[in-house]
Structure 1
Amino acid sequence: MSNASTYQGSCFCGAVQFTVTGEPVAMGYCHCESCRHWSAGPVNAFTLWQPDAVQVTQGADNIGTYHKTENSYRKWCKTCGGHLFSEHPGLGFTDVYAAVIPALNYQPAVHVNYRETVLRIKDGLPKMQDFPAEMGGSGVILPE
């Protein structure tokens, strides 16, 4: 029997529902232009999960997909347009937007793609120029 936590998530209207099980691999904020445009906000709060931790429990046929590049397959509800998650096959993770998992204790640890920021945030967290080196980035940390 597993002691892993399971969190419920859904789109804006509830037509698509899903669970995430366990704990995220990472949590933080992305400042890249793509995430800003997709989220219609100055920053995107992310939670990265192993793909098999994310299970659609209702409305799978109601999920739309868009990929501008092969790096990200962004998923949304075809009924309400509510964003759900992005699959990142090259990284091997699924990014479930923090806002759609209300019971998760969101604890960001890093800002990524901070060189592209349009909203300076002074919160004491590391500000990565792009991504950590282990994820294919430069690993450069920028001053707050």
Structure 2
Amino acid sequence: MSSNKSYSGKCFCGAVEIAVNGEPAAMGYCHCDSCREWSAGPINAFSLWPPEAVRVTKGAEHIRSYQKSEKSVRKWCEICGGHLLTEHPLWAVTDVYAAIIPTLDFQPMLHVNYGNTVLHMTDGLPKQKDMPAEMGGSGVLLPD
């Protein structure tokens, strides 16, 4: 990906649109309980961006937020309930859900919180038990 690339995405109904610029800091899969419960799925495909690379281009007035812990502020469209992104202030990144950026060449690098998985995946990617050490986790890798 080129650093001057721009991608757009939208919620389920299209009332809210976002744009991301540059390259994601990381892409992968999260298996934590919180992401699974929020997404109503067995994993969350994430793309992490510097907060300044993410902007709302339409429908900001329709965005609602929920903060369950100091780690995450989850955002969605109030009209359709479509999930948009999660701000992670402790790590200074914003997770724009990979599924809402259709032109992003999603290339996952790792799995995080794999110790909590309910969907085992044999894909050769590193599987962090929790989080990488540089993000405050143990850095322990689990077998594929």
Aligned-pair CA distance for 1:3? 5.9
Name the TM-score, length of structure 2 as normaliser: 0.98
User: C-alpha distance in 1, partners of 2:62/2:91?
Assistant: 25
Relative distance call for 1:69 and 1:120 in structure 2 (3 A) is same
**Equivalent pairs, count:** 143
User: C-alpha distance in 1, partners of 2:3/2:43?
Assistant: 33
Letter in 1 for 2:89: P
Runs of at least 5 residues in structure 1 that lack an aligned partner in the other structure: none
User: C-alpha distance in 2, partners of 1:59/1:10?
Assistant: 10
Letter in 1 for 2:11: C
Relative distance call for 1:41 and 1:8 in structure 2 (3 A) is same
1:6-52 deviation line (CA, Å, top 9, x unaligned):
00110000000010000100000000000000000000000000000
Structure 1 runs of 4+ with >2 Å offset: none
Which residue number in structure 2 is paired with residue 15 of structure 1?
Answer: 15
Which residue number in structure 1 is paired with residue 105 of structure 2?
Answer: 105
2:3–2:21 Cα contact (<8 Å) kept: no
**Cα RMSD, aligned residues only:** 1.0
Q: Describe how 1:15-34 pairs up with structure 2 within 5 A.
A: 15-34=15-34
User: C-alpha distance in 2, partners of 1:95/1:84?
Assistant: 9
Residue 139 of structure 2 aligns to a residue whose secondary structure is coil
Q: Describe how 1:1-144 pairs up with structure 2 within 5 A.
A: 4-144=4-144
Letter in 2 for 1:43: I
Relative distance call for 1:73 and 1:3 in structure 2 (3 A) is closer
User: C-alpha distance in 2, partners of 1:120/1:10?
Assistant: 29
User: C-alpha distance in 1, partners of 2:130/2:60?
Assistant: 32
The percent of aligned pairs where both chains have the same amino acid is 64
Runs of at least 5 residues in structure 2 that lack an aligned partner in the other structure: none
